[in-house]
Each structure stands twice: as C-alpha cells, then as structure tokens.
Amino acid sequence: MTMVIVLKTGLSGLSFSWYLRRHFKTRDFGVGFFGIFYALSGYMAAYSWNIMWLDCILLFPVILLGLERLVKEKKGMLYCIALGLSILSNYYISIMICIFMVIYVIVQLILNPPEGVVEFLKTCGLFALYSLLAGALSAVVLLPEIFALQATASGNFDFPKDINSYFSIFDMIARHIGNVGTEIGLDHWPNIYCGVAVLMFFLLYLGSKKIALREKIVYCSMLLLFYASFSTNVLNFIWHGFHFPNSLPCRQSFIYIALMLFMCYEAYTKLEETPFKYLAMAFWGAVSFVLLAEKLVDNTEQFHFSVFYVAILLIAIYGGLILLYKNRKWSPDAVLLTALAVVAIESAVNMAVTSIPTTSRTAYVKDNQDVEELAWNIRSNTFYRVEKVDRKTKNDGAWMNFPSVSLFSSTANASLSHFFTDLGCESSTNAYSITGSTPLVDSLFAVKYGLYSNTPPASSLMKMSERSGGTLLYENLYTLPVAFMLPADVENNWILDSGNPAYVQNDLCTLLGTAPVLISNESYSEGKKLTFTSEAPGDYYVYVTNKRVKEVTAVMGQNTESFDNVDRGFFLELGYLAKGEEVTLESTGGGSCHECGGMEV
C-alpha cells in the first residue's frame, strides 16, 4: 500500500509536468518544479492515504490536455480514454472532474473561439459525444454504482434551503502558506498548499503584459468560482455530487491547485521578459500578504507561528534565485538545480509536517497471522460470522479474511445502518459495526465466533475454541442460522423507533413470546456524572440518549474504560459485573450524562 501511494504520487507529478510541457510546447526544466508542487500539494498531504482517489489525481492533467486537443484539433480520443479510465477508477472524484470539464470546455471556447456557428456546434457535439462515450466505457461499474448509491444515506437529495459562507477568501488564500495543518474533519477548510512560490508567481501572472487580458479574466474567474465553492454551502453541495461530504472537505481542491500552478508556470515562462520592478513588487506583495495573514488569520490550531517566518524565508530564497537567474551571475544550470533542491525540500518538509502520522509496522500487524490462522481453521457446516473484539478498523474482516458484521463503505446500505442504530449498535452515514451488541443481537446476526486479545469473563453463552499466540477464538453457543422463521406480524408490529434500543430489543422478545432480555437498573445522576450499583450479576450496558455527549469514561472498581463517538447512539458495553459493584460514568466530551440509563441483562 505504501509503495502504491509513493508510485502514484510520483506519477501524478510526472503527468502534470507532461501536461505543462505539451500545453506550452516546451522542453523547459522548470516544468519539474510545478510537477513536484502538484504531486506534494496540501491535497495529497491530507488525502494520499485515500488510495482509491489517486488514479483520478494522476489522470486529471491528461484529461485537461485531451479536452484542449478536442477543442483545438477536434481530436477527442485522448480525452475520452483518460476520462473513461478516471470514471472507472473512482466514480466519486470523477463527478468533480466531469463538472469541471463542462466549465473548462466553455473556457476553451472563449480562449479559442471557433470560426462560425457550425464550428461551435461541432465542438459542442464532439464534447458531448466523447464525454458520453467515456461514461459508456466505464458503464460496467458505473451503472451498478449508481443503483448502489441510491440505497445509501448519500442517495437522499436534500438541496440547501439557505446560502451560507464558511469563511473569507483571505483566510482561504492564506492556506497556500506551507506547513499549515491539513483539514480532514468537518471544518470545511480546503487543503490548497502547492508551494509558497505561488504567492509571488500569481502576482507576476497578473502583472505580466505578455499574457492576454482575456486569459487572465477567464482563469481568475475560475479561481473565484473555486473560492466560492470552498466557502459556500450550496456550491459545496453541488461539487460533491449533490451531497455534503462527511468530513474530508473540499475534495475538488486538486483541480484548483492544477489551475493555480498552470497560471504560475505561465508567469515562470515569462521571467526573461519580466522587468526587475515587477519582480520587486511581486516579492514585497507576497511578503506583505504573509505578514497580513499572521495578523489576521485566527487559527492557531493549524497555523503555528513559525510557518509565517518560514514562508517569508522561502519567498526570499525564490526571489534571490530569480535575480541570480536573470543577472546570469551564476550558471543557469546551477540556479535551476538549486531551485530544484529548494522545491524538493520545501515540499518534502510540508508533507512530513502536515501529512498523516504513521504507526510502527510491528504494532499494526502483530496479530494478523494469528487471526488469519484461527479464521482459516474454523470448520462449520452452518452459516456464521466472526467478530474481532479488539479491531483496528471496521473492515478487519475483509483485511484478514473472515466473514464479519462490521463494515465501512461509501456504499453502505442506509436502511441497514439505521437498523443497527435501532438495535443499539454503532453506525454512521457510511458505516456500521457490532460495537454495542448484546447476546441477542449476536444471535440474530449469526456471530458464532469472537476473536479476543484478552481472556473474556467466564460465560455460559460461549466457550473457548482455539488459541494462536496472544489471540483467542471463542465460540458463541447460541446463534441463529442464515435464515429462520418468525411470526408473520413481526415486521408490522415490531416498534423500532422507540428512541431506546433496550425497548426495541425487549419489544422483539414480546413479539416472540419470551421474557425481556434487558432489565433496567436504578441509577443516580449529578451534573456530568451518573452512578449505579449492579443489582444482580450479569452483563451491563449503558445507553446515552443525550446526543451532545461524545465521550464517556466509566470507572468500575479498579478498571477504567473510555468510550468515544457516543453520540452515534450505541450501547456502552461495560462487560460482566458481579452483584453490588459500583460504577461511575462521566461525560468528558461535552454534554451531560443525566439521561444515561444502566441496563442489566
């Protein structure tokens, strides 16, 4: 996986350099600088781990060149094949590319106006034909994806009723400064770093008399459109396929980065003809912007004070290299190689500082072999599922080859996610898991085996089956098969929206003619704390109805356990408690636990 990320990151830089070389018809060494900035941008620092997106980032420059050839030369095969491969690779990022292609073909028609109405209609027809053909090339996966997405939580179309802005243009542009913390949460900030030098080269682009005014107006208009798309809720909704992203914001910002670097490279190609006074104005303009950003940007969490000093230093180094290049006091090759070293160091440092942290390989894979061996040795004549209690992800089953209940997927079925929530298990927009399950839920979902890293409390419901290294395999003795009979009125009479999963499970028991499996335990609340004493030995669960509570810490004698994402509405599994044990729960992530309730099995 690491090798694939590194390879595709490098190929992304190569494809953008190749695009610049073909577009500007040049063999200039400088295309490599901007290729590095594209490949090691803030977008890649934030999202390089999302390997399913990387093919689209790699193919995007090829698609750009293909569309330009279609408009200028009426040759659409490169555009068609590259766009088809992009859609085949990842439909989601390709939605954004397709939206931009509609904008970009208009831009190309403005910059390269066709000769007459017939030529204009021919170009529009070719664009529509090759775009549809690209979709048809990927239809083998595109059509199933469309139907699958209709069943997800993202399939609902709920267009924003009000227009809101998240932040100012100035604050967005300030994120071009290097070593600024990346945003992968819910705060909407775009990750648009692509080299501090762009702050200077963008001003040179605006001031260059060698670049047509029409082109400046068109490209700057596109930049303004992207700023509005990053900060306005309606455009944000449209760009993300008529859906608000669940974290990982501004996923279309790699397109903005490509546009900005394109403009800056064009200014770079005009350095020979650029007067020294323009260079001085661009230098001081970039420095002034950084100084203003230090004063005005109020985001100390992501903008460490040192990033402003480093930015000014880098701008000074780039400015000095440009002067040396123009004065010819150094060998041009020496200046270019020095610039390459500075670009590489700046980009690499930004990736090291702002990209995702790593974990040791030893810690990450320490139980893989044991889990795979235990799962492989299971011999059962009936349908079963396995759950890993101490899992690293919701997709551990896919990773280590065992049938699992838990899943994280963009195409997770929305109805199933809601059903998990109703039963007291963890779920979200695109994921669900067995976390919070009771023995009844385990039985319903045929969770016949459990993988444990520590010996669980003795129980009459399960027995130890096998051990490998530090991993234990336990068999649940009471689980249902893949299909089983239910009374005809269950679907219509089972109350799933009671607001408390304990009532939901007990209501099923009532319909099936059995005693309730969950019994309320008396509890006492004070502020953010809730305490109770176990009235009988058994497995205990706590349900928090206050959705403002995100984190809860439970103290059970000498044992302390922490729970996060509590607002997702799942049971907090306290495990087995003997009679008379005192338990204290405290909200540690906002909100109060006064609506918590202890439940006894």
72-105 per-position pLDDT tens digit = 999 999 999 999 999 999 999 999 999 999 999 9
> 413, 411, 386, 389: which is closest to 397 by C-alpha?
386
What is the model's pLDDT at position 597?
Answer: 40
What is the model's pLDDT at position 148?
Answer: 83
Helix axes 51-73, 91-111, angle to 10 degrees: 20
Give phi and psi for 386, each to the nearest 5.
Answer: -125, 140
pLDDT bin (cut points 50, 70, 90) of residue 356 is confident
What is the model's pLDDT at position 590?
Answer: 56
- Specify whether domain 518-600 bears CATH 2.60.120: yes
What is the model's pLDDT at position 557?
Answer: 84
Say what the alpha-carbon torsion angle 125, 126, 132, 133 is, to the nearest 10 degrees: 150
- Parts of the chain belonging to CATH 2.60.120: 518-600
Most confident of 284-293, 496-505, 519-528, 588-597: 284-293
What is the model's pLDDT at position 499?
Answer: 85
Residue environment code for 103-133, b if the CB has 16+ CB neighbours within 10 A, otherwise e: ebbebbbeeeebeeeeeeeebeebbeebbeb
Query: For 19-61, what is each residue's pLDDT tens digit?
Result: 999 999 999 999 999 999 999 999 999 999 999 999 999 999 9
Residue 592 above 60 pLDDT? no
Residue 598 above 60 pLDDT? no
Q: Which of 214-218, 353-357, 507-511 has the lowest mean pLDDT?
A: 353-357
Residue 224 above 70 pLDDT? yes
The whole-angstrom separation of Cα 197 and Cα 214 is 24
- The percent of residues above 90 in pLDDT, for the chain, comes to 72
Q: What integer best gives the mean pLDDT of the chain?
A: 91
Helix (H) or strand (E) segment spanning residue 422:
helix 414-423
Residue 315 above 60 pLDDT? yes
Residue 12 above 70 pLDDT? yes
DSSP letter for 13, please. H
Query: For 261-277, what is each residue's pLDDT tens digit?
Result: 999 999 999 999 999 99
Taking residues 517-525, report their average pLDDT.
Answer: 89
What is the model's pLDDT at position 595?
Answer: 45
Taking residues 577-593, report their average pLDDT.
Answer: 79
What is the model's pLDDT at position 509?
Answer: 93
Can you read off the two tokens belonging to residue 508? 């099923």
What is the model's pLDDT at position 181?
Answer: 93
E-only strand ranges, 422-564: 427-428, 431-432, 447-452, 462-468, 471-476, 519-521, 523-526, 529-533, 538-544, 552-556, 559-563
What is the model's pLDDT at position 477?
Answer: 92
Can you read off the two tokens belonging to residue 359? 């974990």
Q: Where are the alpha helices (DSSP H) in 42-90?
A: 42-47, 51-73, 77-89
Q: Where are the alpha helices (DSSP H) in 240-305?
A: 253-269, 276-296
Query: For 429-472, what is each residue's pLDDT tens digit?
Result: 888 999 999 999 999 999 999 999 888 877 888 999 999 999 99
pLDDT bin (cut points 50, 70, 90) of residue 197 is very high
